[in-house]
Amino acid sequence: MVPLSYYLMLSGILFACGILGFLLKRNIITIFMSIELMLNGVNLSFVAFAAHWHALSGQVFVFFVMVVAAAEAAVGLAIIIAVYRTRETLNVDQVNLLKL
């Protein structure tokens, strides 16, 4: 059988992939997708921990994270459209954003 730690490591890798995408990409939509990737890493660790503790509250938490992700997606994509309308670009440098 696979130890739960492997699931957790996978969740860490997915989360790190999300961070990398967020910091690396310049297209706003892909940046936003990277955030979804991070949330999936979080959800996976929640479900794995729920199996570890035999506590369903972890799975219920995942359900709420999905609700929030849906809400964020709706608002975020609307904001992206609003910015696109004024700037005609989805490139963060031209939106003068994220001066890292």
> What contacts 71, CB < 8 A, 6 or more positions away?
none
Instruction: Tell me the number of residues near other proteins by CB under 8 A.
Output: 97
Closest distance to other proteins from the beta carbon of 4 (Å) = 4
Q: Please give the residues from 5 up to 44 whose contact with other proteins meets the rule CB under 8 A.
A: 5-44
Closest distance to other proteins from the beta carbon of 9 (Å) = 5
* DSSP single-letter state for residue 42: H
Closest distance to other proteins from the beta carbon of 25 (Å) = 7
Classified as helix, coil or strand, 86 is: helix
With contact defined as beta carbons under 8 Å apart, do 78 and 52 qualify?
no
Q: Please give the residues from 73 up to 92 whose contact with other proteins meets the rule CB under 8 A.
A: 73-91
Q: Please give the residues from 52 up to 71 whose contact with other proteins meets the rule CB under 8 A.
A: 52-71
Separation between Cα atoms, residue 64 and residue 46, nearest integer Å: 11
